[in-house]
Amino acid sequence: MCRIGRVEWLMSFERALMSKQIPALYAVRATAVFLVILFHFGLNVNGAFGVELFLVLSGFLITRILMYENDKRHRVSLKNFYRKRILRIIPAFYAYLIFGLLVHIVRHHEIPWRSIIASALFVQNYHDAIFHTGDTYVGHSWYLSIQMQFYLLWPLVFSVFRKNLSQLIKLLVITILGVWIYRAILWFGIGVYQGYIYHAFEARVDHVLVGCLLAVLIKMDTIANLAYKVSWHPSFPLITIAILGISASFHSHFDYRFSVGYAFEPILIAVLIVQLVGVSCCPVWRTLTENPVVKYLGQISYSLYLYQQLILFTARRITQSLPIVIQLIFAIVVTIIAASASYFLVERQFAKIRVQKHKSVVPRF
């Protein structure tokens, strides 16, 4: 790998950001969901870090969508935004809810009605935070609850500050710092149960807001020099990934996780996003991030996230007498098949409705 010249890097970076799809970010999605899958399968990997990747990436992409629409239309249609987000999230998730419910009925398993209702209303994160419920087939929907709560609030904030992005940057920085302090008070001062800090929106929203801040800073063109300095060599993303891996390995120590880890890692993830977008002109990274398999897994990452919770345990139970490698391969293949069915039969069908109007208004992510 060789150094990328400043002009070449800037051209590659701007070209990638102007495109309707950023291939490198599919690789981030695929990585995030497979960290969750491997963790839920039972391997010693940090699945929670995969959720961190999703949260930062979500803030980045959603803010870019809002800014793109603001640039094109000189306004933000909240009605259109909410319509698109609802069609993006709810049909596939409700299909999963019904599928899992039918599985429980057929297998005569106890039905976790309280968790099902909480997840259907997208308050599963607070249900878990307050009641400390065990694993259910909807337990992982706490992440979707945070997403939907963010979708509800952030467009309103952005609409207020869309004409004054400098003030928006200040608000984001202050809020992120405030969440850091709040989280430290909860853990070190009050001694709140760790599950609350892990699941509660107000204790995790800084991760999403770091992604929002990155998108606004890029739009303001205030970090071009810094972005180049952390990205000029194609090996830099590997260094960032290594640092993130070391930090994530300390997550079992809650003192570290809820102070340094959860403050430090989202910023590094934002740096990694910049690096992966910037090094897209490097043939080695382009081969990795634009690989058709990686791109496809990134495309179906939402459905993968949904169905892994239910499919993995069943797949492993069926193959429990086989070697662990065979169990893992079988579980992943079955999960991909289920996710693919969800993607083509549900996600893609509602995506057609989602883009039926304003086809060229916002980029696809």
Q: Is it the case that residue 88 has pLDDT exceeding 50?
A: yes
Give the span between the Cα atoms of 37 and 151, in whole angstroms: 25
- For residue 116, give every residue at least 6 positions away whose Cβ sits within 8 Å of its Cβ, in sequence order, or none: 97, 101, 138
> Among the listed ranges 39-53, 188-202, 210-224, which one has the minimum average pLDDT value?
210-224
Nearest to 134 by CA among 118, 119, 112, 150: 112
Mean pLDDT across the chain: 90
Does position 61 have pLDDT exceeding 50, yes or no?
yes
pLDDT in tens, 89-105: 999 999 999 999 999 99
Backbone angles phi, psi at 186, to 5 degrees: -60, -45
Q: Is the pLDDT of residue 315 over 60?
A: yes
Amino acid residing at 23: P
Please report which confidence band the pLDDT of residue 60 belongs to, taking 50, 70 and 90 as the band edges. Answer: very high
In a 3-state reduction of DSSP, which class is residue 351? helix
Q: Is the pLDDT of residue 65 over 80?
A: yes
Q: Sign of the C-alpha dihedral, residues 108, 301, 266, 291?
A: positive
Please report, rounded to a whole number, the percentage of residues in the chain having pLDDT higher than 70: 94
pLDDT of residue 355: 66
Per 3-state DSSP, the chain is made up of helix, strand and coil in percentages (nearest 5) of 80, 0, 20
Mean pLDDT of 35-58: 94
pLDDT for 295 equals: 92
Query: What count of Cα atoms within 13 Å lies in the side-chain half-sphere of residue 110?
Result: 5
More confident residue, 227 or 33: 33
* Per-residue model confidence (pLDDT) at position 356: 63
- Rounded Cα distance between 87 and 310, Å, is 23
- Asked whether the predicted pLDDT for residue 365 surpasses 70, the reply is no
The residue with greater pLDDT, 222 or 363, is 222
* pLDDT band of 223, cuts 50, 70, 90: confident
Q: Report the distance separating Cα 148 and Cα 156, nearest Å.
A: 13
Encoded tokens for 162: 């869309």
* Residue-wise pLDDT tens digits, 335-364: 999 999 999 999 999 988 866 655 544 444
Contact 59, 209 (CB under 8 A): yes
Q: Are 104 and 96 in contact (CB under 8 A)?
A: no
pLDDT computed for residue 137 by the predictor: 92
Write down the pTM of the prediction: 0.92
Looking at residue 110, what DSSP letter applies? Answer: P
**pLDDT reported for residue 316:** 87
Q: What angle do CA 177, 179, 181 make, to 5 degrees?
A: 75
In angstroms, the CA 330 to CA 324 distance is 10
Contact 34, 293 (CB under 8 A): no
Give residue-wise pLDDT tens across range 257-301: 999 999 999 999 999 999 888 777 677 777 888 889 999 999 999
pLDDT at residue 345, rounded to an integer? 96
Q: How many residues does the chain have?
A: 365
Distance CA(13)–CA(37), nearest Å, equals 31
Enumerate the domain spans of the chain: 6-354
Q: Which residues, in sequence order, are CB contacts of 78 under 8 Å at separation 6+?
A: 155, 156, 159
Reported as a single tens digit per residue, the pLDDT across 127-184 is 999 988 778 899 999 999 999 999 999 999 999 999 999 999 999 999 999 999 999 9
Nearest-angstrom CA–CA distance, 46 and 122: 24
DSSP 43-102: -SS-HHHHHHHHHHHHHHHHHHHHHHHHHHHSS--HHHHHHHHHHHHHHHHHHHHHHHHH
**Which pLDDT does position 155 carry in this prediction?**
96
